[in-house]
Structure 1
Amino acid sequence: MNNLIYRMKQNLLIVSGCLFLSMTAYTQDFSAFESKQLIHRGDTLPYRILYPENYDSQGNYPVLFFLHGAGERGNDNAKQLTHGAKLFLTDSMRHSFPAIVIFPQCPVDSYWSNVDIQSQVEGKREFYFRTSGRPSTGMALFLKLMKHTLKNEAVDENRIYIGGLSMGAMGTYEALRRKPKVFAAAFAICGGDHTFNVRKYAHVPLWIFHGEQDDVVPPTHSHAIVAELKRLGASPKYTFYPTANHNSWDAAFAEPELLPWLFSHIKQ
């Protein structure tokens, strides 16, 4: 009996150790993203910045701004790295695309874009995107961060990029319409915008992603943007995943051509 109890304890220790090692293997070290913050008129925007290896402050680097989703809002300057950050830490990315990568964090009581959200039956929501008006606190702070970055970092102003997911994709569209002359290319995952705004960024190369089963942000928003871009004579790149729900960013980040496509564009 004692031997049986002993073996059970040993097996439990082995299983616990395996679980710990498994969890450790999946823990991502984001320390390469330096922690900084922008303070403007009493408001604070935390952000994390990843510099290229052997960064030269007198150099000339592309810069990518990434806008997170609603679930990562806050002021811990960490949650915004939950989705997408590890993509930029791979050796292949850092060697092939030496770029400055910035993840700002939206305040918990704000939103990247000016959109009215109304709850519907069965927990669904309707999104009503605005076509004018002052930017939200989150977007205003982001625009200040963008200006600060272009002034103080070693940025190639012909290679400025933006991307985001969900709320961040909505913010991506809004940043494009507010600063249509800034960006060389962009990508938007499971987002949306008012089709009236599309004409303002139709000239910007854009890759749009969405899951056809998305029950949080309806894929009809992305389909409408693609259709309007085509109507305006643009040639957007788009990928709709037939079985993906709202987390279509997993599939989008796994696209081997995403970063090569993005960084291949240079603003004319």
Structure 2
Amino acid sequence: MLSRIALCLGIVLVTLLTDDVDAADNLDRFEARTYAGAGGEKLNYRLLKPKDYDPNKKYPLVLFMHGAGERGDDNKRQLVHGMNDFASDEVMAKYPAFVVAPQCPNGKKWVEVDWGAAKHTAPEKPSISLQLTFETLDAIAKEFSIDDKRIYVTGLSMGGYGTWDSIERKPDYFAAAAPICGGGDVEQAKKLTKLPIWAFHGDKDTAVKPERSRDMIAAIKAAGGEPKYTEYPGVGHNSWTATYRNPEFYAWLFAQKK
């Protein structure tokens, strides 16, 4: 019996180690970069390029916005959640695309609002980090061959708020959005009726109330939109793992086009 238990534990350990190696290999595919704004501000970001990039072709671009726990200046931590999935052999082969993962500095937010509030009003101007992100996307579009009809945004937790804020500020810029366990300004939902949106949340989330996603979806529908919404039963704050590992998510996202 003990030998069987030891064998099982060994298999689990090998599996975990293999997953870690695979994750490291995939994340190494992201190039470390820094954008410098005109005012001297800087934004660290990682860039995943399509395999066998051909400048004569146009490629979709995905903006990924990380959560609060991945803030910093190491230009690495923002890849912890979801990015290993985007950089997998399967996804890269099936959906050649650029993936941009900026890192929000410590003490900053993608959108400067209270995450615990039942609702919020969007600030008049984007946060410094979000503004630098928009500028970074413009710079990448000048450097590489980007399909401006297939620019997508997704993010989790703090990045879910950032995703909602981004599309409320630039509803005509993005071709689709997938906010995960975040919240937006419901008063601006009318701007989003024509934008393909698939939102996700766990119904047991205590960090960001599921009502934040529910309210946004309800407001968009009330304004005439048809957003998709998935609420995971029995799931807490981590509603991103199931989302980014779901093949249907990628099929839906990359099928969207302006």
Deviates more, 1:39-48 or 1:230-239: 39-48
Q: Does 1:94 align with 2:119?
A: no
Offset of residue 16 of structure 1: 11
Contact 1:62 1:159 (C-alpha < 8 Å) held by counterparts: yes
1:81 aligned partner, one-letter code: L
Secondary structure of the corresponding residue to residue 114 of structure 2: strand
Task: Please name the residue that 2:4 is paired with.
Answer: none
Taking the aligned partners of 1:49 and 1:131, their CA distance within structure 2 comes to 28
Task: Please name the residue that 2:218 is paired with.
Answer: 227
Taking the aligned partners of 2:228 and 2:42, their CA distance within structure 1 comes to 35
Task: Please name the residue that 1:151 is paired with.
Answer: 142
51, 64, 67: which one aligns with 1:66: 64
Deviates more, 1:22-31 or 1:210-219: 22-31
Task: Please name the residue that 1:259 is paired with.
Answer: 250
The alpha-carbon distance between structure 1 residues 241 and 17, as it changes in their structure 2 partners (threshold 3 A), is closer
Query: Counterparts in 2 of 1:1-268, with a 5 A limit?
Result: 21-27=14-20, 28=23, 29=25, 30-40=27-37, 41-117=39-115, 125-126=116-117, 128-267=119-258
1:121-170 deviations in Å (ceiling 9; x for gaps): xxxx3255223412111111111112112222210111111100011011
Secondary structure of the corresponding residue to residue 135 of structure 1: coil
Deviates more, 1:130-139 or 1:210-219: 130-139
Taking the aligned partners of 1:16 and 1:131, their CA distance within structure 2 comes to 50
The alpha-carbon distance between structure 1 residues 227 and 53, as it changes in their structure 2 partners (threshold 3 A), is same
Secondary structure of the corresponding residue to residue 117 of structure 2: strand
Q: Which stretches in structure 2 are left out of the alignment for 5+ residues?
A: 1-6
Segments ≥4 residues shifted beyond 6 Å: 14-20
Taking the aligned partners of 2:247 and 2:157, their CA distance within structure 1 comes to 21
Contact 1:115 1:127 (C-alpha < 8 Å) held by counterparts: no
Taking the aligned partners of 1:254 and 1:21, their CA distance within structure 2 comes to 21
TM-score between the two structures when normalised by the length of structure 2: 0.90
Offset of residue 202 of structure 1: 2.2
The alpha-carbon distance between structure 1 residues 214 and 145, as it changes in their structure 2 partners (threshold 3 A), is same
Taking the aligned partners of 1:222 and 1:17, their CA distance within structure 2 comes to 41
Taking the aligned partners of 1:113 and 1:201, their CA distance within structure 2 comes to 18
Contact 1:111 1:167 (C-alpha < 8 Å) held by counterparts: yes
Taking the aligned partners of 1:215 and 1:178, their CA distance within structure 2 comes to 27
Secondary structure of the corresponding residue to residue 212 of structure 2: helix
Which one has a bigger Cα radius of gyration? 1
Offset of residue 19 of structure 1: 8.0
Number of aligned residues: 248
Deviates more, 1:213-222 or 1:29-38: 29-38
Question: Identical aligned pairs, as a percentage?
Answer: 39
Taking the aligned partners of 1:220 and 1:20, their CA distance within structure 2 comes to 39
Q: CA RMSD in A?
A: 2.0
TM-score between the two structures when normalised by the length of structure 1: 0.87
2:19 aligned partner, one-letter code: Y
Contact 2:192 2:225 (C-alpha < 8 Å) held by counterparts: no
Contact 2:122 2:165 (C-alpha < 8 Å) held by counterparts: no
Offset of residue 208 of structure 1: 0.5
1:58-103 deviations in Å (ceiling 9; x for gaps): 3210000000001001110110000001111222211110001111
The alpha-carbon distance between structure 1 residues 39 and 226, as it changes in their structure 2 partners (threshold 3 A), is same
Contact 1:37 1:44 (C-alpha < 8 Å) held by counterparts: yes
